């Protein structure tokens, strides 16, 4: 893990003209052709990409033969907010596998969507596995196991054939050998990689062609199209990833502990990690980096940032903002 000396300031929190907090971190920007155009801090040190790794896991399920498309494919890479619409989509994946929500091995959780959670509390419901934000990924993993004839029980074990296949696909996409394996919050394996490796993988996915002669690339193009066609799946109403996809047409996937990957429509790609683990500035930093690289219109970025929860309040009034440092 990089030391503070290996990071740079990426964002600040300003209140009434005072800089109240600073977020340091690391970031890398790739041009549409995949060359590095900007690197902030140490982008070679290994770290855990958390849910920003989901596009690779979803693509691995697709290349293993899982019949995923449209909403189901988009949900397979989502960190959704657990609305009834999300649950219906996840249930459809489980139905296709002939399985139920009790087959999911992710932990039970309340939905991240506040109105949905409030309604469930009024109904005296309990946390449920299918409401957990990673349930789409887990349902896709189960469907893959059924499709391949693999055991569904224990599908999260790093030595399970599914996880072995996922690891191989990730190594192919990142161009790196995996040096360490950890357990993500949902119980699935998460693999240490460099920020540069993550950027390479997401760039390859985000710029893949639907008519490529390679199945991996065709699957990647289908995945990106599914997310852009159904941005509500990836996050939820009014939430950051959904907002930026809807407004700017980017492919975005945030991860826990301040990780973010984003691909602009022209293929310019950003991967970043906020050192203190806070994700509150990650979307703003990624958008500003894409803007600085000439991939996004400054006016459209400014309008999109105003739609995100970046305002600092004092006494109910706007007194500052969370913003990128550049």
In order of their start, the domains of the chain are 4-324 (3.40.710)
* pLDDT at position 294 over 70: yes
Could you give the 3-state DSSP secondary structure of residue 211?
A: coil
Query: What are phi and psi for residue 128, nearest 5 degrees?
Result: -135, 150
- pLDDT value of position 137: 98
Name the 3-class secondary structure at 254: strand
Output helix, strand, coil percentages for the chain, rounded to the nearest 5: 45, 20, 35
List CB contacts of 34: < 8 A, sequence separation 6 or more: 200, 203, 204, 207
Task: Yes or no: say if 228 and 212 are a contact pair by the CB < 8 Å rule.
Answer: no
* Vertex 197 angle, CA 70 and 216, to 5°: 35
Closest by CA to 251, choosing from 281, 279, 277, 222, is: 222
Across 49-65, average pLDDT:
98
On average, the pLDDT of the chain sits at: 97
Q: Is the pLDDT of residue 115 over 90?
A: yes
> Which residues on neighbouring strands pair with residue 183, listed in sequence order?
189
Report the pLDDT averaged over residues 233-244: 96
pLDDT of residue 1: 60
Whether 2 has a pLDDT exceeding 70, the answer reads no
Q: Are 252 and 244 in contact (CB under 8 A)?
A: yes
3-state secondary structure of 112: coil
> Is there a contact between 253 and 205 (Cβ–Cβ < 8 Å)?
no
- Stretch 161-168: mean pLDDT: 98
Percentage with pLDDT > 70 across the chain = 99
Q: What is the pLDDT of residue 218?
A: 97
Q: Please give the pLDDT value at position 145.
A: 98
Say what the pLDDT of residue 62 is. 97
Q: Which residue has the higher pLDDT, 247 or 3?
A: 247
The C-alpha atoms of residue 186 and residue 184 are separated, in whole angstroms, by 5
Quick one: tokens of 75? 């949900």
- Give me the pLDDT at residue 3, please: 75
239-291: per-residue pLDDT in tens?
A: 999 999 999 999 999 999 999 999 999 999 999 999 999 999 999 999 999 99
Chain segment 4-56, per-residue pLDDT in tens: 779 999 999 999 999 999 999 999 999 999 999 999 999 999 999 999 999 99
Flag whether pLDDT at 223 surpasses 80. Answer: yes
For the chain, what is the largest distance between any 2 Cα atoms, rounded to a whole number of angstroms?
61
| pLDDT given at position 95 | 98
């Amino acid at each position: 893990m990089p030391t503070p000396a290996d990071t740079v300031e990426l964002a600040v929190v300003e209140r009434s003209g005072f800089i109240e907090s600073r977020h340091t971190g690391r970031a890398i920007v790739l041009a549409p052709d995949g060359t590095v155009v900007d690197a902030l801090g140490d982008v070679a040190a290994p770290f855990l990409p958390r849910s920003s790794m989901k596009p690779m896991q979803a693509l691995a399920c697709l290349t293993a033969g899982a019949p995923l498309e449209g909403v189901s494919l988009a949900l397979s890479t989502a960190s959704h907010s657990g609305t009834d619409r999300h649950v219906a989509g996840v249930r459809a994946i489980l139905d296709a596998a002939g399985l139920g929500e009790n087959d999911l091995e992710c932990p039970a959780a309340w939905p991240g969507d506040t109105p949905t959670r409030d309604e469930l509390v009024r109904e005296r419901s309990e946390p449920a596995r299918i409401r957990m934000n990673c349930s789409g990924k887990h349902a896709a993993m189960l469907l893959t196991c059924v499709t391949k004839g693999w055991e569904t029980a224990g599908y999260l074990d790093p030595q399970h054939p599914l996880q072995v296949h996922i690891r191989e696909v990730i190594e192919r996409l990142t161009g790196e050998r995996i040096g360490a394996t950890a357990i993500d919050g949902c119980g699935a394996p998460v693999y240490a990689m460099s920020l540069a490796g993550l950027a390479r993988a997401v760039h390859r996915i985000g710029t893949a062609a639907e008519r490529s002669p390679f199945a991996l690339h065709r699957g990647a193009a289908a995945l990106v199209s599914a997310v852009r066609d159904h941005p509500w799946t990836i996050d939820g109403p009014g939430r950051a990833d959904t907002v930026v996809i809807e407004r700017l047409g980017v492919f975005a996937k945030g991860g826990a502990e301040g990780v973010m990957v984003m691909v602009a429509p022209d293929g310019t790609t950003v991967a970043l990690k906020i050192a203190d683990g806070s994700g509150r500035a990650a979307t703003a930093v990624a958008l500003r980096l894409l803007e600085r690289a000439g991939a996004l219109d400054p006016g459209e970025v400014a309008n999109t940032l105003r739609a995100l929860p970046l305002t600092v309040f004092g006494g109910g009034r706007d007194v500052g903002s969370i913003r990128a440092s550049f």
